[in-house]
Amino acid sequence: MNDRIKEYIHQELKKAEQALKAAQNLLADGLYDDAVSRAYYAVFHGARAALKIKGIETVSHKGLISQFALHLVKAGEVEEEYGDILRQIKEDRETGDYEPLVTFGSEEATKLVGSADRFLVKMRDWIGRQEA
């Protein structure tokens, strides 16, 4: 793996960590819809970093989900749970961002932010094993 790809992956993981921290702060402030949105972007950047290891870049959120499922979940690289987290948190982010009559409560937002945290732990671990 060349230095440019390593730097790309590092920057994606950095963006993922920043988004997760923002999600946690928004959650603590009671801004649940915004916390879910930032949690999604934490997962989004973590998934992009993992796909880059495989030489895959996507141009859409839908493409990211399908490529993650194909190249990481179905290939047996990561458990199905992580594909489910990516797909579900994307749907929840869209609901929270675009549906004015739907809002997230504390319990659901806390669960989703926790799922994003678990996802990033898994991606960092998986990426670390690929780079070794």
Task: Give the model confidence (pLDDT) of 39-79 as tens digits.
Answer: 999 999 999 999 999 999 999 999 999 999 999 999 999 99
105 vs 96: CA distance, rounded Å: 11
Q: Which CATH class is domain 3-131?
A: mainly alpha
Integer Rg of the chain from CA = 14
pLDDT score of 16: 98
C-alpha 13 chain-centroid distance: 10
- Residue 131: pLDDT band with limits 50, 70, 90: confident
Q: Region 111-122: what's the mean pLDDT?
A: 98
The pLDDT of residue 61 is: 95
- Domain residue limits, the chain: 3-131
Rounded to an integer, what is the distance from CA 71 to the centroid of its chain?
A: 16
| 118-130 residue pLDDT tens | 999 999 999 999 9
The pLDDT, as a whole number, for residue 105 is 96
Q: Say what the pLDDT of residue 113 is.
A: 98
